[in-house]
Structure 1
Amino acid sequence: MEASSNEFLRGTLKTIVLKLLAEQGRMYGYEITQSVKERTSGEITLTFGALYPVLHKLEQDGFLMTESEEVDGRLRKYYSLTPSGNATAVQKVSDFERFVEAMQSLLRPQNGEISLAKL
């Protein structure tokens, strides 16, 4: 994806994080970045500079809880959803799915229009 796709990513980071945590239960930052990279075949890569402010904001808003665990002599912070985070994840994913459907309808050629892909 091009750099302009970062604009789309910024608006969906909370949804991505909430969705992954809803599926996985708990994850740490690097694990989140790798999951996104793997699931999108490298099309989307999250930087720590983009991810951690979102994690901290979600925690501040009461959607995430954290627990620290020592792994190989290093402290690792795991994130998981609170009950309100779980409800928010469901709502944000649903909202995003409706948005994608609306965008697909908007971008689909109508009544004899030429598709932009053919230009």
Structure 2
Amino acid sequence: MVSSKNPAFLNGVPELLILQCLKGRRMYGYELVQAIRDATGEHVVLAEGVVYPVLHMLEREGALSAERQTVNGRSRIYYALTDRGTARLADLADTWRRLTAAIGGVLGEPGHA
């Protein structure tokens, strides 16, 4: 059996993971890539080409604020949650919990309806 990371049904998960990582602190793009990889035990590995478009979309929609800073001679854009981003995270997390409970029920897992 071939194991594949990031199956196609995970559309929308990058947004959820990015918002969750930014819940506690501001971060820049590559830092988010590493944080998601570490937090998921490398089960979800998002390329920068996935993360940056999501960051830009979230910023356009007002869910994130962005601030450019120079650190050790390198320019980085740090992203932080806004109130709109916090609300969006809550909605996405709720949807994810309902979905996983429903799938758990189909799989016959105890405690899932």
**Where has structure 1 moved over 4 Å in runs of 4 or more?**
none
Q: Please name the residue that 2:21 is paired with.
A: 20
- Deviation for aligned residue 1:25: 2.1
Q: What's the TM-score, normalizing by structure 2?
A: 0.87
Distance 1:11 1:71 in 2: 31
Whichever of the two has the greater Rg, that structure is 1
Q: What is the CA distance between 1:103 and its match in structure 2? A: 0.8
Question: Residues 1-119 of structure 1 correspond to what in structure 2 (within 5 A)?
Answer: 1-3=3-5, 5-22=6-23, 24-108=24-108
**2:65 partner SS:** strand
- What is the percent sequence identity of the aligned residues? 36
Instruction: Describe the SS at the equivalent of 1:53.
Output: helix
Give the count of matched residue pairs. 107
Q: Please give the TM-score of this superposition, normalised by the length of structure 1.
A: 0.83
Give the Cα–Cα distance (whole angstroms) in 2 for the partners of residues 77 and 70 of structure 1. 9
Kindly provide the CA deviation profile for residues 25-62 of structure 1, in whole angstroms up to 9, marking residues without a partner as x: 21111111111111111111110111111111111111
Unaligned runs of 5+ in 2: none
Return the alpha-carbon distance in structure 1 between the equivalents of residues 108 and 84 of structure 2.
36
1:9 CA displacement: 3.0
Distance 1:8 1:25 in 2: 28
Deviations 1:79-110 (A, max 9, x none): 0011111111111111111111111111227x
- Secondary structure of the corresponding residue to residue 55 of structure 1: helix
CA root-mean-square deviation: 1.5
